[in-house]
Structure 1
Amino acid sequence: MSLLPRGGGLPAGIFLLLLISLTAPAQQKVPFSTLPDTTIKERVWILTGATAAVYGTGLAVLSTAWYKGYPRSSFHFFNDAGEWKQMDKAGHIFSAYFEGKYSREMWRWSGLPRKQQIWIGGLSGFAYQSVIEVLDGFSEKWGFSWSDMGANAIGSALLISQELAWDEQRIQLKFSSHPKNYPEGPVHEKADQLFGKTFWERTLKDYNGQTYWMSANLYSFHKNSTWLPRWLNIAVGYGADGMYGGRDNTWTDAQGVYHDYSHIRRIRQFYLSPDVDFTKIRSRKKGVRVLFQVLNMMKFPAPALEINSLGNVKLHAIYF
Structure 2
Amino acid sequence: MLLTLFVLFLGFCRVEPADSNNVAVEQTKVNKIKLGIVTVGTLGFGVVTYDYFNKVWWKPTRVKKFVWRDDWNDVLKADKAGHFYFSYVLSDVYKNLFKWVGFSSKTSAFLGAGISTIYEVGVVELTDGFTTKWGFSPSDAISDVFGAFFPVAQEYIPMLRIFSFKWSYTPSGYTWLDYFRFGSLKEALYKKQFHTDYSGMTFWASVDFQNLLPEKFEKFIPDFLNIAVGYSVKEINYAGRGYSEVFVGIDYNFLKVDTGSEFFNKVLRALNYIHFPAPTLRIKPKVKFYYLYF
Normalised by the size of structure 1, how large is the TM-score?
0.75
In the alignment, is residue 317 of structure 1 matched against residue 262 of structure 2? no
8 Å contact 2:10–2:270 — kept in the other structure?
Answer: no
8 Å contact 1:178–1:203 — kept in the other structure?
Answer: no
CA distance in 1: counterparts of 2:237 and 2:106, whole angstroms: 44
8 Å contact 2:15–2:265 — kept in the other structure?
Answer: no
Aligned with 1:149 (options 141, 153, 161): 141
CA distance in 2: counterparts of 1:244 and 1:142, whole angstroms: 15
Aligned with 1:227 (options 220, 226, 242): 220
Deviations 1:8-34 (A, max 9, x none): xxxx1x432332233247xxxxx8779
Deviations 1:108-129 (A, max 9, x none): 1121233211100133222211
Distance 1:111 1:23, change over 3 A: same
In structure 2, the residue matched to 1:18 is 6
SS of structure 1 residue aligned to 2:60? coil
In the alignment, is residue 47 of structure 1 matched against residue 38 of structure 2? yes
Aligned with 1:282 (options 254, 258, 264): 258
In the alignment, is residue 238 of structure 1 matched against residue 212 of structure 2? no
Residue 269 of structure 2 aligns with an amino acid whose one-letter code is Q
CA distance in 1: counterparts of 2:142 and 2:273, whole angstroms: 22
8 Å contact 1:174–1:213 — kept in the other structure?
Answer: yes
Give identity over the alignment, percent: 25
In the alignment, is residue 100 of structure 1 matched against residue 91 of structure 2? yes
In the alignment, is residue 69 of structure 1 matched against residue 60 of structure 2? yes
In structure 1, the residue matched to 2:188 is 198
CA distance in 2: counterparts of 1:46 and 1:179, whole angstroms: 35
Deviations 1:27-63 (A, max 9, x none): xxxx877974423344334433432332233223322
SS of structure 2 residue aligned to 1:212? strand
In the alignment, is residue 134 of structure 1 matched against residue 108 of structure 2? no
CA distance in 1: counterparts of 2:155 and 2:94, whole angstroms: 13
In structure 2, the residue matched to 1:176 is 168
SS of structure 1 residue aligned to 2:78? helix
CA distance in 2: counterparts of 1:56 and 1:197, whole angstroms: 28
CA distance in 2: counterparts of 1:139 and 1:233, whole angstroms: 41
8 Å contact 2:91–2:149 — kept in the other structure?
Answer: no
In the alignment, is residue 109 of structure 1 matched against residue 85 of structure 2? no
Displacement of 1:80 in angstroms is 0.6
CA distance in 1: counterparts of 2:137 and 2:187, whole angstroms: 27
8 Å contact 1:213–1:235 — kept in the other structure?
Answer: yes
Runs of 4+ residues deviating >6 angstroms: 31-35
Residue 157 of structure 1 aligns with an amino acid whose one-letter code is F
In structure 1, the residue matched to 2:200 is 209
Aligned residues: 271
CA distance in 2: counterparts of 1:128 and 1:282, whole angstroms: 33
Question: Which runs of 5 or more residues in structure 1 are unaligned?
Answer: 1-11, 26-30, 183-195, 249-265
Deviations 1:44-95 (A, max 9, x none): 3443343233223322332234324334341121111121001111110110
Normalised by the size of structure 2, how large is the TM-score?
0.81
SS of structure 2 residue aligned to 1:208? helix
Aligned with 1:124 (options 115, 122, 126): 115
Distance 1:21 1:35, change over 3 A: farther
SS of structure 2 residue aligned to 1:67? helix
Deviations 1:140-194 (A, max 9, x none): 1110110001111121232221133339942111111234339xxxxxxxxxxxx
CA distance in 1: counterparts of 2:49 and 2:152, whole angstroms: 23
Greater Rg over alpha carbons, structure: 1
Question: Which runs of 5 or more residues in structure 2 are unaligned?
Answer: 17-24, 175-185
8 Å contact 2:170–2:201 — kept in the other structure?
Answer: yes
In the alignment, is residue 298 of structure 1 matched against residue 274 of structure 2? yes
SS of structure 1 residue aligned to 2:228? strand
CA distance in 2: counterparts of 1:202 and 1:62, whole angstroms: 12
